[in-house]
Amino acid sequence: MKHIAIGILGAAALGFMASAASAGTLDTVKQKGFLQCGVSTGLAGFSAPDDKGDWKGIDADFCRAVAAAVFGDASKVKFTPLSAKERFTALQSGEIDLLSRNTTWTSNRDSALGLDFVGVTYYDGQGFMINAKKLPGVNSALQLSGAAVCVQSGTTTELNLADYFKKNKMEYNPVVFEKLEEVNAAYDAGRCDAYTTDQSGLYGIRLTLSSPADHVVLPEIISKEPLGPAVRQGDDQWAHIARWTYFALLNAEEAGVTQANVEEMKTSTDPNIQRLLGTEPDGKYGADLGLSNDFVVNIVKAVGNYGEMFERNVGSGSPLKIARGINALWTKGGLQYGPPIR
């Protein structure tokens, strides 16, 4: 009896202690010495471990950029692979500090789920992929009536799929799995006729199939999927750090600051570049955010600017070969626009 009583008392005390800790995320991250970043369980181009176990991709690089901004050291980041279902709970519960996992920004997630989206690191749209060898006559998503469609559960993709088939008065048979690898395996085994997810994802997944050349991505884009990192709601300082890390990546590209020339650029007399790189006399834009004044230098040194990050992970420097398209800078006809640092 006594032992039980002591046990309960101990458990209760532990619980109280756990709830007491609720300092700002920046302080917590600095204190533990690394950034805990939530990524996908393996989506080529966004976040996937390579053969050495290093996480590669735009989302993984964004985690490194934030770590570089906070610590000046991009290696101070630990990755937590999360399924679509686990991701929000992991962020809400404080298991991770930043969710950078090809997540669509929606009003419901921004409000009712207690998340705060930082920006759009990749403008995407949902598409379909089919095995052209098995289904030679199909070249449009509108021909998919009656098809079995593989989809990951708990995603906006799942909802768009239902809406699209309903709107076009088509029938389909959803084949739903919780984990990305399970969806990939089922599609590869021929359990479904079509695979639907964000188009960028389809290109990445196609590379992992047993015979990538047999599969084609259909032209239709059925939804808007602005993918971006998110932080917990209610910690403005931390949200600002993540948001301005993203803007810094864009501004660096716009100003022509690259991983290769960043040291050189520090001596620039262009006031715009001076403000960006923290070399402006008496400038304290970094310090205002709770960071060092040269945080942009650290970011660009670690992962390059946004354009470099894009080309390396999903663009011409990667097997995916996705064109910049609407992800180009606003100056080049795209949607990526970074508010000025000043």
Contact 46, 84 (CB under 8 A): no
Stretch in the footprint of other proteins (CB under 8 A) among 51-59, 64-72, 108-116, 332-340: 108-116
Stretch that binds other proteins, among 195-203, 228-236, 244-252, 287-295 (CB under 8 A): 228-236
Q: Does 81 bind other proteins (CB under 8 A)?
A: no
SS3 of residue 137 by DSSP: coil
Nearer Cβ to other proteins, position 141 or 257?
141
User: Which part of the chain contacts other proteins (CB under 8 A), choosing from 119-127, 184-192, 243-251, 312-320?
Assistant: 184-192
Contact pick of 232, 243, 275, 312 for other proteins (by CB under 8 A)? 232
Q: Nearer Cβ to other proteins, position 234 or 317?
A: 234
Among residue numbers 286 through 305, which ones bind other proteins (CB under 8 A)? none
Amino acid at the residue 185: A
DSSP E strands: which ranges in 145-296? 147-152, 172-177, 194-198, 215-217, 225-227, 230-232
Identify the residue among 49, 72, 125, 174 touching other proteins (CB under 8 A).
174
- For β-strands 194-198 and 147-152, DSSP reports them as parallel
Whose Cβ is closer to other proteins: residue 10's or residue 212's?
10
Touching other proteins, residues 246-275 (CB under 8 A): none
- Residue among 24, 212, 219, 234 that touches other proteins (CB under 8 A): 234
CA angle 142–143–149, rounded 5-degree value: 90
Tokens coding 166: 């309903």
From 49, 81, 114, 334, residue interacting with other proteins (rule: CB under 8 A): 114
Burial 291-330 (b: 16+ CB within 10 A, else e): bbbbbbbbbbebbbbbbbbbbbbbbeebebebebeebbbe
Interaction between residue 15 and other proteins (CB under 8 A): yes
User: Residue 322 forms beta bridges with which residues?
Assistant: none
Distance CA 48, CA 81 (A): 9
> Angle at the Cα of 277 (from 307 to 304), degrees rounded to 5?
25
Regarding beta strands 126-131 and 215-217, do their DSSP bridges make them parallel or antiparallel, or are they unpaired?
antiparallel
DSSP per residue, 144-169: -TTEEEEEETTSHHHHHHHHHHHHTT
| Stretch of 188-196, 217-225, 261-269, 287-295 contacting other proteins, by CB under 8 A | 188-196
Residue range at the interface with other proteins (CB under 8 A); choices 61-69, 140-148, 195-203, 210-218: 140-148
Nearer to other proteins, 234 or 339 (CB): 234
CB of 229 to other proteins, least distance (A): 17
If one asks whether residue 113 binds other proteins (CB under 8 A), the answer comes out as yes
Distance CA 308, CA 74 (A): 16
Dihedral over alpha carbons 109, 60, 338, 232 (to 10 degrees): 30
CA distance linking residue 276 with residue 296, whole number of Å:
7
The residue (of 69 and 161) whose beta carbon lies closer to other proteins is 161
Residue of 147, 241, 265, 296 interacting with other proteins (CB under 8 A)? 147
Min dist CB 237 to other proteins, Å, is: 16
* Site residues for other proteins per CB under 8 A: 1-2, 4-5, 8-9, 11-12, 15, 19, 22, 84-85, 88-89, 92, 108-109, 111-114, 134-135, 143-144, 146-148, 153-154, 158-159, 161-163, 165-166, 172-178, 182, 185-186, 189-191, 193, 232-234
